[in-house]
Amino acid sequence: MSTRMLRLAITGAFLLSFSTVSWGQQKDSPRLADYKKDIVAPYVNSPEPVVLKMLQMAHLKPGETLYDLGCGDGRIIIMAAEQFRVKAVGVELAPREVKKATEEVKKHHLQASVRVIEGNMLQQDLSPADVITLYLTTTANESLRPNLERYLKNNARVVSYDYPIPGWRPIDSKDTEANLHGITHTIYLYQVPTSFK
C-alpha cells in the first residue's frame, strides 16, 4: 500500500470512530451535535516539531495576532506566544479541551498574551487575525473557507497541516520529515487574497 493510501486509510478510520464515539461524555451536547454537522475532525495533537515548522512558515512577526481554530490543548498558541512574541487566540468547541488549554496557558504564565475561546469556529469573527493555523480535514477546511474569505484582512496568512483548503492555491508547501512508519505530511501556506481563485 502506498504512503498516500495508508494516510487516507488511517484518516478514514479516525473519521469513522470520531463520528460515533470520540466526543465521549460530551456526545449528547446539542451544540456539539450541531457543530459536527459542519465540521468533523478527529482530535489529534500536532507534534511539536510540526508546530514550530507551521509557525515558521507563517513568518510571524512580534505583535501580530494568531488564531488557532480547533486549538485542542493549546500547544500552538502557547508556542506562538512564547517563541514568536505574538498575541494568540485559541478557538475550541469541546469544553474539556478548553479547560485543558486554559490550564496550560496559566501554567506558562501567558494570560496577558493568550486566550482560549469556547465557541464554534464557523461563527467566529476572525478579522483581528494576521495568521490562522488549522489541523482539521479537507472537508472541514472547505466548510470553514467562507468564514476565512469573509473576515481575513489582506496579507493574512493561513497555515494548514496535512489538509489543503479546496478552492485556494497555496503560495508555499513543505513536507515534514518521515515518521517511524515512513509517512510524511504536508504543511500548506496560503495568503489573502493571493491564494483565492
d(CA 166, CA 163): 9
Separation of CA 143 from chain center = 13
Instruction: State percent of the chain over pLDDT 70.
Output: 76
CB atoms within 10 A of CB 47: 15
Domains of the chain by start residue, with CATH: 42-191 (3.40.50.150)
Q: Tell me: the pLDDT tens digits for 81-112?
A: 999 999 999 999 999 999 999 999 999 999 99
pLDDT over threshold 80, residue 27: no
Number of H helices, E strands in the chain: 6, 7
d(CA 87, CA 81): 6
Residue 90 φ/ψ, nearest 5 degrees: -105, 135
Q: Tell me: the pLDDT tens digits for 109-130?
A: 999 999 999 999 999 999 999 9
